Amino acid sequence: MTFFHCVEFAPMRFLPVFLDLTEGVVGLVGAGPAAFNKLRLLRSAGARVRWYSKDVGVAEEALTAALSGPLEICFADPRQADFADCIAVVSAAGDALDDDIAALARSRHVPVNVVDRPELSTFIFPAIVDRGDVVVAIGTGGTSPVLARRLRERIEALLPARIGDLAALMGRFRVRAGEARRGGRSLRRFWERVVDGPIGAAALAGRWRDAERALTRAIEHGDDTPAPSGAVFIVGAGPGAADLLTLRALQVLQGADIVFYDELVTAEILDRARREAELVFVGKRGGRPGIGQDAINQQLAEAVRRGLNVVRLKGGDPLIFGRDGEELGYLRDAGIAAVVVPGVTAALGCAAAEPSAAERELVA
C-alpha cells in the first residue's frame, strides 16, 4: 500500500486586502530611497501623505515631482506624532526609529508597515500588477520580495493590456445588468459569457463602441433565451495534493456552484473550489456509513434541475475500475448532462512524488 504525504500549508499571516487611501492620511517616516519609493507608490494611488522627513533636499524634490495625491511635509519628530487621523503608517527610516514608529502605531491601533521588517509590520506591500481597474497583488509574506517580483513579471506577460478597461466597462453596466436580470438567470453566468465571449474579445481588441452596443443588447434581451440547464462534472481529485489536480479539474472547480465531496478529498483540494460554491459532504465519517449512492444521485439531480453547475469530487481517478459507473449511468438515464474529468492515478501520483536522482544524491 502506498501512502501519500500531503504538504500542509501554514495559514496566511497577511490577508490580501485593497485599501481606499483617499479616506484618510498615510503617515510616512524616513528620507532615503526606500521612503521616496514608497512615497511615489502611495501618491500614485491617490493617497494623502504626511511625510516625516529630515532631509529638506529630498522633500523639495518630492514637491516638484509630477505625482498625484496631496503631500504634507512635516519636519517634527515622528516619535511625538499622534497618528490618530492616519489610516496607515509606513516607516522606512532604516534604523532604530523604525522600531519606535512600529510600537507607536501599534499602540494607536493603526496599521503599520516597516520596510524590509515584516516582524514589525501589521501589513505589507505586495508586488503589484496595475491595469487600471484590474490590480493583481502578489505577496510572499514579506519573506522573498525578489520571488514576488519574478511572479509579477510572469503575470504581467499573461494579462491583456486592456483588461482594466474591460473591467471598467463592466463596472459601468453593473447596476443596470443586475436590475435587468433580477429574478432571472444567474448574474454570475451572464458576466462569464461577457468576459469569455465576443463582447470581451471586442473590448480587449479596443473596439469599445462594438463592445458597449453588444453589452447593451445582452442586458436588454438576454433573458429572452431559455435558462441553460445545469450539468454534473465527476472530477477526480487525485491522490490528495492540490498541485496534482489537472488543469481541467481546476477550471471545473472554479466554475462550480455546488461541490459534493467524499472523505478522500482533502481540505487543500476543497480550497481550490470557487469561494462562493456550496460544499456538501456525502462520504463516510467516523466509521459511520454514508448517505448511500441513491441519496447522492438524487441530490446531484436536484442540484442540476435548479440550473446549477454541479461537481461530484472524488479522491483518485473516477475512471479507474469504473468507479463513476453508477452515478454516470443514473444521470444519463435521467437525461442529465454528465462529464467525467479524470484525476491523477495513484501510480502517477507516486511517480510525481518520487525524488529525482539529483535529489537522492543531495539527501545521501
- Percent of the chain's residues with pLDDT above 90: 43
284 is catalytic: yes
Range in 31-40, 52-61, 138-147 with the lowest mean pLDDT: 52-61
Would you state the pLDDT for residue 50?
Answer: 95
- Percent of the chain's residues with pLDDT above 70: 82
Q: Could you tell me which residue, 52 or 23, shows the higher pLDDT?
A: 52
> Which of 95-104, 136-145, 202-211: highest mean pLDDT?
95-104
The answer on pLDDT for 149 being more than 50 is yes
Exactly one of 262, 271, 317, 333 is catalytic; name it. 262
Quick one: pLDDT band at residue 5, thresholds 50, 70, 90?
very low
Would you state the pLDDT for residue 67?
Answer: 63
Kindly state the average pLDDT of the residues 202-223: 87
- Phi and psi (nearest 5°) for 207? -90, 75
Name residues whose C-beta falls within 8 Å of residue 93's C-beta, 6 or more positions apart in sequence.
29, 30, 31, 32, 35, 101
The answer on pLDDT for 111 being more than 70 is yes
pLDDT per position as a tens digit, 45-86? 889 999 998 876 666 666 666 566 788 999 899 999 999 999
Contact 151, 138 (CB under 8 A): yes
Would you state the pLDDT for residue 335?
Answer: 85
Kindly state the average pLDDT of the residues 286-306: 84
Confidence (pTM) = 0.65
Residue 48: CB atoms within 10 A of its CB come to 19
Angle at 84 between CA 79 and CA 85, to 5 degrees: 120
Would you state the pLDDT for residue 63?
Answer: 64
Exactly one of 130, 284, 294, 324 is catalytic; name it. 284
Quick one: pLDDT band at residue 360, thresholds 50, 70, 90?
very low
- Give, in order, the Cα–Cα distances in Å from 174 to each of 171, 203, 226, 286, 296: 5, 16, 22, 46, 37
Quick one: pLDDT band at residue 3, thresholds 50, 70, 90?
very low
Would you state the pLDDT for residue 4?
Answer: 41
Contact 223, 185 (CB under 8 A): yes
Residue 281 C-alpha cell reads as 459532504
First to last CA, the chain: 25
| Separation of alpha carbons 362 and 356, rounded Å | 10
- Give, in order, the Cα–Cα distances in Å from 116 to each of 53, 96, 121, 161: 19, 13, 9, 31
| Separation of alpha carbons 362 and 355, rounded Å | 10
Would you state the pLDDT for residue 241?
Answer: 84
The answer on pLDDT for 204 being more than 60 is yes
262 is catalytic: yes
pLDDT per position as a tens digit, 331-349? 888 888 888 888 876 545 4
| Separation of alpha carbons 121 and 91, rounded Å | 9
Average pLDDT of every residue of the chain: 83
Residue 364's identity, in one-letter code, is A
> Which of 125-134, 236-245, 322-331: highest mean pLDDT?
125-134
Q: Could you tell me which residue, 328 or 217, shows the higher pLDDT?
A: 217
- Give, in order, the Cα–Cα distances in Å from 254 to each of 46, 195, 224, 257: 33, 15, 27, 9
Residues paired with 339 in a beta bridge = 233
| Separation of alpha carbons 105 and 114, rounded Å | 11
